[in-house]
Chain A
Amino acid sequence: QITLKESGPTLVKPTHTLTLTCSFSGFSLRTGGVGVGWIRQPPGKALEWLALIYGNDDERYSPSLKNRLTITKDTSKNQVVLTMTNMDAVDTGTYYCAHSRDVVEVFDSWGQGTPVSVSS
C-alpha cells in the first residue's frame, strides 16, 4: 500500500523560502520511472503541477515556476523535498505530494496535503 505525507511550515513570510518534505512508503524511489510529484491548490482554485522527480534522478519543473523550485530526494529516508524561493501571498494554498506511476506517469496516490499561508 502506497502512502505519502507532506510536512512543513504552515506560515511563511513573504520573500522567504518554503521547504516541504514528502515522506512516503510502499514503493522505492531508487531507480526507474516511478516518481514523486508536487501539486498545489490555492483556496477555492484549481490544481497546479509544480515539480516531479524520478527514481533515476531525472527532474521536471513547471515552466512558469522553474526558477523558484528545487526538488530533491533522499532514498535512504524515503523522502522528497521541495524548496520554493521568494514566497508571495499568491503562493498560499494546499501543497500535495503524489506518487507518479511508471510508464503512465499519472498521480495515482496522493498525500492529504499541507496548508501553507504566506503572510508577514
Chain B
Amino acid sequence: DIVMTQSPDSLAVSLGERATINCKSSQSVFYSSNNKNYLSWYQQKPGQPPKLLIYWASTRESGVPDRFSGSGSGTDFTLTISSLQAEDVAVYYCQQHWTWTFGQGTKVEIK
C-alpha cells in the first residue's frame, strides 16, 4: 500500500506570511497513461468534514482561493498558502487519489 508522510506535523505562521506543507509518497503517484499525478489536498476545520482544495497535484478546486497552490510530481509534493488568513487555521491532509490513502495531517496555526 502507498504510505503518505507529511511534514511538518504542525506549523505556526504569522498572518499574511507563507505556509508550506510537504507530502511524500512511498511510491510514485504519477501515471503516464494520462500524465497526471494522483495527489490531492484537503482542509479540515474543527468539527467539520474535510474540504477538497487541490487535485492532480496542482488543480485548484472550484471556489478555492488562489492563495492555495499545489506543486510537485512523482513522490514529493507541496501545498503552499501564499498569505495566511485567519480562516486558514485548520488541519491539512494530502491524499493519493489512486488508492486513496491519506497523510497524517499538518496542523496550521497563527503565530
Contacts and interface: CB of A to CB of B under 8 A. Distances in A.
Contacts, number: 52
A36 to B, nearest CB: 13
A46 B97 CA distance: 16
A52 B61 CA distance: 21
B52 interface: yes
Given A46-B103, A46-B105, A47-B93, A106 B40 contact: yes
Majority SS of interface residues in chain B?
Answer: loop
A46 B1 contact: no
B49 A111 contact: yes
B52 A107 contact: yes
Contact of A63 (B1, B56, B97): B1
A110 to B, nearest CB: 4
Contact of A106 (B1, B49, B52, B105): B52
B102 A47 contact: yes
A96 B42 CA distance: 14
A48, A105, A112 pick with most chain B CB within 10 angstroms: A105
Interface residues of B, number: 23
Given A37-B100, A46-B103, A46-B104, A104 B49 contact: no
Contacts of B51: 110
Given A39-B50, A49-B100, A110-B49, 12 more contacts: A46-B93, A46-B102, A46-B104, A47-B44, A47-B50, A47-B102, A62-B100, A64-B1, A98-B49, A105-B100, A107-B52, A111-B49
Interface of B: 1, 38, 40, 42, 44, 49-52, 55-56, 61, 93, 95, 97-105
